[in-house]
Amino acid sequence: MADLRVERIAEFIEPLRVQPGSRVRLARDFDPGYKADFLNKKDGRELLAAGVELLADYQRRLAAQNTYGVLVCLQALDAGGKDGTIRHVMSGVNPQGVKVSGFKVPSAEELDHDYLWRYACRLPSRGDIGIFNRSHYEEVLVVRVHPEHLQRQQLPDSARQGHVWARRFREINDWERYLSDNGFKVVKLFLNLSKEEQRTRFLRRIDRPDRNWKFSAADARERRYWDDYQRAFSKMLSATSTEWAPWYVIPADRKWFARIAAAAVLAHTLIEIDPQYPTVSEERRSDLLVARSELEAEAPEGAPADPYAAAAAEKKRRKKKRRKK
């Protein structure tokens, strides 16, 4: 049963994976409106609920084992659905085990460091799932589309000249390989929205007062750079989808489908890690049994030595009596 589930998840996400080494052209290779044929919105709801439960179970084991960590990087254009994806996909997971970090225009302090510094500061610990709402990939996206950001990074001339982006791609790949070698799996999700769906979502943000806060004139201005972003995304996907940290392009025009797909990729990663609850050694086990009899001996006058065991025995007794009647 478990194996069947594992296989189906792997099959489901395969078309979304960017083959390492392939040359991506977003508009040609990935359809923002894609959904798997066998799914509709109604079944999707059940599937997401099952996925969320599965994630919660794996996250508990990940935390207990305390060996691996998972970093989820979410990238999208404005209105791509990053916030909603985080809210829905992580809804069943213990908040203690998840750290969400958002990245905006860098502060003066951040600009005073190397460009990966602020992301390194927010990496998850072992046992945790870290979510980057925007990530180090902004350093080859917004910074590439708007070169004035690069000017502000106080780089030495040697780092501004020549093949800046090829160098950054290599540095990012190396960094992720280092993380992966050391037990931190990097899951990269690009929520791929169509230009028309972005227009529709912007209109809703303008029309609904409770969504106004999500929209600024700057977002509309950024939309003018749509083609530049598509190119930058295509180059990023081509250069940084690696065996150790592949990109997944999540079709984002249908929110419900995007959430299932994101949950499936994360589930796939956790299943591959297959974290286990630690087992205790024989020696620790006998220590535990000594502690147990000490606790039992502390029972106050009239109280059962082990209240749990007493309650369970009582329950069993009542059940038996009922059956006899």
Confirm or reject binding of residue 104 to ligand AMP (CB under 6 A): yes
DSSP-assigned beta bridge partners for residue 190: 75, 249
Measured torsion, CA atoms of residues 230, 82, 168, 266, in degrees rounded to the nearest 10 = -110
Q: Is the Cβ of residue 80 or residue 127 nearer to ligand AMP in the bound state?
A: 80
Residue 79 C-beta: closest distance to Mg ion, Å: 8
* Cα dihedral across residues 18, 23, 25, 28: positive or negative: negative
Residue 287 C-beta: closest distance to ligand AMP, Å: 50
Using an 8 Å Cβ cutoff, are 82 and 76 in contact?
yes
Confirm or reject binding of residue 175 to ligand AMP (CB under 6 A): no
Q: x/- string (CB under 6 A) for ligand AMP, residues 132-151?
A: --x---xx--xx-----x--
Size of the site for ligand AMP (CB under 6 A): 10
Secondary structure E strands in 17-83: 69-76
Using an 8 Å Cβ cutoff, are 81 and 193 in contact?
yes
Tokens of 25: 């052209």
Site residues (CB under 6 A) for ligand AMP, limited to 259-298: none
Q: Is the Cβ of residue 110 or residue 222 nearer to Mg ion in the bound state?
A: 222
Confirm or reject binding of residue 324 to ligand AMP (CB under 6 A): no
Please tell me the distance from the alpha carbon of residue 125 to that of residue 317, in angstroms, as a whole number. Answer: 47
Q: Of 106, 124, 130, 246, which one interacts with ligand AMP (CB under 6 A)?
A: 106
Q: 264 touches which of ligand AMP, Mg ion, none (CB within 5 to 8 A by kind)? A: none
Please tell me the distance from the alpha carbon of residue 130 to that of residue 184, in angstroms, as a whole number. Answer: 10
Q: 311 touches which of ligand AMP, Mg ion, none (CB within 5 to 8 A by kind)? A: none
Give the H/E segment covering residue 188. Answer: strand 184-192
Residue 135 C-beta: closest distance to ligand AMP, Å: 9
Q: 139 touches which of ligand AMP, Mg ion, none (CB within 5 to 8 A by kind)? A: ligand AMP
The label of the residue with tokens 């209109």 reads 203
Tokens of 179: 């993380």
Q: Which residues bind ligand AMP (CB under 6 A)?
A: 103-106, 134, 138-139, 142-143, 149
